[in-house]
Amino acid sequence: MKTILTIIFRLTVSCLLAGAVMGAAFVMTSKAKKHNEHVKEQKVMLNLLGYSEKNPAPASLGMHALYRYIVTEGEALSMGYLVPLADEGRGGFAFVAIDLDGNFLARHPVTIAEEEAREADAREQAILSVLGPGRTIRYADQTIIVTDGEKRMAYLLPGKFPGFKTFIKVMMAVDPAYGILGLEIMEHEEDPGLGGEIVQDYFKNQFKGKAFDTIRKLDVVKTPLPGDYLQALEAGKRGGLGAEEVAKIQEQYKDNDIYALTGATISSRSVTSGVKGMVRKFSYRIAILDRVLAEQHIAVPF
Amino acid sequence: MKNPAMFRKLLLSLVALLLLPVLAQAEGLVAGQSFGKANEIVVTFAAAMDAAKVTNPANYVVYEEQDPDIRLPVTNVALAADGKTAILTFAEPLNSTQAHVVSIANLTQAGKAAESFRVMKSYLGYLLSILVSALLINNFVFTKYLGLCVFFGTSKRKDTAKGMGLTFTIVMVVSAIMSWFFYQFVMKPYGLNFLQIVIFIGLVSLTVQAVDTILRKVNPALFNAFGVYLVLVIANCVIIAVPLILADNEYNFFESFMLALGAGGGFLLALYLMSSVRERMELAKIPPTFKGVPIAFIVAGQFALAFLGFSGLNIF
Amino acid sequence: MATDKSNMQLVVNGILNENPIFRLVLSMCPAVGISTTVMNGFMLGVAVLFVQVFSSCTIALFKNKIHPRIRIPTYTLTIATWVTVIDLVLAAYLPEAYARMGIFIKLIVAFAIITMRLEMFACKESVNASFWDGIGMGLGFMFGMMALGLVRELLGLGTILGYDVLGFKPLLFFVLPFAGFFCVGLMMAFFNYIEIVYKRAKRA
């Protein structure tokens, strides 16, 4: 009996010690983790828009996050967008509810600071508190609308879709006409040497410059990548081709389908169809949201 | 297996567990639904329907479950001669990996109204695809390179391979189910995700200890045969990888069960194949530099190459 | 019982005589799975070094307080704690390297080499000796991983640490996932060969 008690006591003490060590590590790292993720995301976004350290973004550049939620009330579903407000220098946010047919339902002012709005939990709490009881919300996705002064420059769409092995997480920049400005693979677990090549310039840059109409019909072909196109796609790497030449070649291939990676047709196809789906859905939703915002005279900074 | 009656019972309960989601489907005006060709959904009604009401595309609202605001326009509805089967044609190909929700307005027959229903690939098929994927396509040993220490250690003899594989499968399934419960009902609600590693490894040790004790008391013969492998289970990375994967993918109970079963079965399969080759290799002339472990690695590489052929396999 | 080896001997022992990958044939999963580049090998090596050293020291420090009946659970708990710590730290400060190594960081917890070292060495020796033994084992693992990474990266991609040294890709085969098996097998055979030749030369 005494041994059992000693064992229990010692196990408890070691568990408590272990818990203390892990808890301390968690507390110390969680802030840095969030900060680093945010910095990395910002960097990727600016890169996608064509800015770098040599070519910094102008101060007038504004990035406005738009969060989409699915609202459930009993059996009924509706969409809700958390939009930043521009009016009279007060800022703040509003939660705009739209039904499934695209009609305006309601508008709730949400009081939340901009930094807090980046935290998923705090955001959710703030929205729930203005919606009233009986409604639940489910986070769907986020869009970042990039403006330069009054003008809309681009949309940044983070997305996630199934790849060959597990999910592929991407960030995509599209222009106001929904043509693709750039694609960046954020996370993936495809095989190195095969599907893992989706992160290479010669694959992901193929999406650059595709117009909306091309994207709708975009497919994957298994023919080898033409040499001049390859050079143009990898121009950023070795600095071989001049900007003019690259533009010329890009123009020549801009209506072509995506050339599949050797030995990784499935990965290529999943990225292509994922990108297609993202652009198609986004263009549909932003059109509805813009119409509603205009009809209801909701002033937004984008 | 030394105990056929027990084995049969185990198999039966397994089948019952598999059939559960299928039997739980409700009866209504709509008797069946499935995906047809790339851009079709086939709806089967319980009784013959009025063609005029059914074939009006405006009555249908169809969307992917994840995106309820994006309607998929129905271009045409064709009703078969018996009045029971309707084929909905869409403008664009459907993404059949997603569940679609179809609701039909203004359609009542014999007092029953057709409400909205979900169209998706058969759930059983989906579950089986998880199983097959873990077993063959993403075999943990040959395509994810996990559990190799134990794999090379216990694949010298077929008997050892079978014993290890079976013990491992049982512990895998039990610990994965426990991990799933813990993840869903303790770790997720209280934000303890960062304790994943400790909790999962703790549950595995607990399972091993429990199986050890129970087997020792209940079936000493079985314990004598399999007891030695129990200790090795804990040193196998697959056993900790599976809970981590199912936590990452937010699998539900059945899916977790299938993944664990596939992982265990895949390990058994890999061990058995490997041990068969290694038993033969003892008779072969192998250069002294390659004797033992090096040649085993080369063989495993060839198996991995062969298993690569399963990738892209899509049965269901 | 205290070891009579000096600190330096302990370290060398871990790297050569008892190299975890090529001699003890332990922790093969990462050796096959993610040894595609030198950098991957180095990063995972650092993580294992950290876990090994800290776990060894922890066990050596508390060796008199651990009840023999709960030895193994205590080892597991210790390792899992330090793995969690390195997992959190890497995820926070080196997110890119962390993403490349995927699940393998978390799987350090199931590496036989660490538990084995605790059982065979740390629970009997002083903190100092355990520290150097941990360093040796960690470096040995890192050395093995980096050697594999070097061969695979050089032959597969024609680069070392991401720098183009060959200017072409000799054998893409070597970076493909399954080639890890062949690579480990061939390198083990190579070490065996050296040993055989060495022994023959000694006898002659």
Q: With beta carbons less than 8 A apart as the criterion, state whether B246 and B176 touch.
A: yes
- Chain A to chain B, count of Cβ pairs less than 8 Å apart? 30
Indicate yes or no: CB of C77 within 8 angstroms of CB of A14. yes
CA of B145, closest CA in chain C: separation in Å? 5
Q: Which residues contact A184 (CB under 8 A, 6 or more apart)?
A: A44, A47, A48, A170, A171, A172, A204
Partners of residue B195 in chain A, C-beta under 8 Å: 22
Indicate yes or no: CB of A166 within 8 angstroms of CB of B194. no
Inform me whether the C-beta atom of residue C70 falls under 8 Å from chain A C-beta atoms.
yes
pLDDT for C53: 92
CA of C24, closest CA in chain B: separation in Å? 10
Indicate yes or no: CB of A22 within 8 angstroms of CB of B311. no
- pLDDT band at A119; cut points 50, 70, 90: confident
- pLDDT band at B10; cut points 50, 70, 90: low
Inform me whether the C-beta atom of residue C91 falls under 8 Å from chain B C-beta atoms.
no
Total residues found in chain C within this entry? 204
- Chain B to chain C, count of Cβ pairs less than 8 Å apart? 112
Residue among C23, C28, C74 with most chain B CBs within 10 A, to mutate: C28
Partner A, chain C 18-47, Cβ-Cβ below 8 Å: 36
Q: With beta carbons less than 8 A apart as the criterion, state whether B102 and B72 touch.
A: no
What is the three-state SS of chain C?
CCCCCCHHHHHHHHHCCCCCCCCCCCCHHHHHHCCCCHHHHHHHHHHHHHHHHHHHHHHHHCCCCCCHHHHHHHHHHHHHHHHHHHHHHHHHHCHHHHHHHCCHHHHHHHCHHHHHHHHHHHCCCCHHHHHHHHHHHHHHHHHHHHHHHHHHHHHHHCEECCEECCCCCCCHHHHCCCHHHHHHHHHHHHHHHHHHHHHHHHHC
Indicate yes or no: CB of B145 within 8 angstroms of CB of C188. no
Q: What are the b/e assignments for A58-90, b being 16+ CB within 10 Å?
A: eeeebbbbbbbbbbeeeeebbbbbbbbbbeeee
Residue among C19, C114, C181 with most chain B CBs within 10 A, to mutate: C181
Higher pLDDT, residue A266 or B15 = A266
- pLDDT band at B113; cut points 50, 70, 90: low
What token pair was written down for C54? 């800290």
Q: How far apart are CA A198 and CA B144, in angstroms?
A: 19
Nearest CB partner across the interface for A36, out of C73, C93, C175:
C93
**Chain C neighbors (3+ CB pairs < 8 Å):** A, B
What token pair was written down for A154? 């681009």
Strand partners, B112: B109
Nearest CB partner across the interface for C110, out of B143, B237, B289:
B237
Nearest CB partner across the interface for C88, out of A6, A25, A193:
A25
Nearest CB partner across the interface for C92, out of A6, A11, A32:
A32
Higher pLDDT, residue B192 or A165 = B192
Low-confidence ranges of chain C (pLDDT < 70): 1-4
What token pair was written down for A88? 């009279």
Partners of residue C93 in chain A, C-beta under 8 Å: 29, 32, 36
Inform me whether the C-beta atom of residue C194 falls under 8 Å from chain B C-beta atoms.
no
Q: How far apart are CA C49 and CA C56, in angstroms?
A: 10
Q: Which residues contact C104 (CB under 8 A, 6 or more apart)?
A: C29, C30, C33, C34, C44
What digits encode the pLDDT tens for the residues B225-234? 777 777 778 7
- Burial zone of A48 (CB within 10 Å; 0-12 exposed, 13-18 middle, 19+ buried): buried
Q: Is the pLDDT of residue B277 over 90?
A: yes
Partner B, chain C 115-174, Cβ-Cβ below 8 Å: 115
Q: Which residue of A has its CA nearest to B246?
A: A166
Q: How far apart are CA A245 and CA A251, in angstroms?
A: 10
Partners of residue C167 in chain A, C-beta under 8 Å: none
Nearest CB partner across the interface for B68, out of A18, A70, A166:
A70
Domains along chain B with CATH numbers:
30-119 (2.60.40.1220), 124-308 (no CATH)
Q: Is the pLDDT of residue B257 over 90?
A: yes
What ipTM is given for this predicted complex? 0.84
Q: Is pTM, for the whole model, over 0.95?
A: no
pLDDT for B110: 59
What digits encode the pLDDT tens for the residues B199-226? 888 888 888 888 888 888 888 887 887 7
Q: With beta carbons less than 8 A apart as the criterion, state whether A96 and A73 touch.
A: no
Give CA separation, C1 vs B159, B314, C18, C61, C129, in Å: 40, 60, 20, 15, 12
Q: Which residues contact B11 (CB under 8 A, 6 or more apart)?
A: none
Q: How far apart are CA B131 and CA B143, in angstroms?
A: 15
Indicate yes or no: CB of B297 within 8 angstroms of CB of C185. yes
Higher pLDDT, residue B154 or B180 = B180
pLDDT for A160: 87
Domain boundaries, chain C: 7-203
Q: Which residues contact A73 (CB under 8 A, 6 or more apart)?
A: A134, A135, A136
Q: How far apart are CA A249 and CA B155, in angstroms?
A: 56
DSSP structure string for B112-168? EE---EEE-S-HHHHHHHHHHIIIIIT-TTTTS--SHHHHHHS-SSHHHHHHHHHHH
Residue among B143, B237, B311 with most chain C CBs within 10 A, to mutate: B237
Q: How far apart are CA C169 and CA A194, in angstroms?
A: 14
Higher pLDDT, residue C41 or B121 = C41
Indicate yes or no: CB of A187 within 8 angstroms of CB of C99. yes
Nearest CB partner across the interface for C107, out of B205, B237, B298:
B237
pLDDT for B264: 93
Cα of B169 vs its chain's centroid, Å: 14
pLDDT for A194: 77
Q: With beta carbons less than 8 A apart as the criterion, state whether C85 and C47 touch.
A: no
pLDDT for B276: 94
Nearest CB partner across the interface for B194, out of A22, A98, A288:
A22
3-state DSSP assignment of residue A286:
helix
Higher pLDDT, residue B94 or A269 = A269
CA of C30, closest CA in chain A: separation in Å? 14
- Phi and psi angles of residue C95, each rounded to the nearest 5 degrees, phi first: -60, -30
Indicate yes or no: CB of B235 within 8 angstroms of CB of C112. yes
pLDDT for B18: 57
Please calculate the CA angle B281-B285-B287 and round it to the nearest 5 degrees. 105
pLDDT for B315: 66
Q: Residue C26: which region, alpha, beta or left (left: phi > 0; alpha: psi -120 to 50)?
A: beta
**Chain B neighbors (3+ CB pairs < 8 Å):** A, C
Query: For residue A226, what is the DSSP state?
Result: P
Q: Is the pLDDT of residue A124 over 60?
A: yes
Inform me whether the C-beta atom of residue C70 falls under 8 Å from chain B C-beta atoms.
no
Inform me whether the C-beta atom of residue C185 falls under 8 Å from chain A C-beta atoms.
no
Average pLDDT of span B162-183:
90
Q: Tell me the range of A157-166, A253-262, B243-252, B255-264 where mean pLDDT is highest.
A: B255-264
Q: With beta carbons less than 8 A apart as the criterion, state whether C156 and C33 touch.
A: no
User: Which of A111-120, A150-159, B125-134 is predicted least confidently?
Assistant: A111-120
CA dihedral angle for residue B25, residue B29, residue B35, residue B36, rounded to 10 degrees: 140
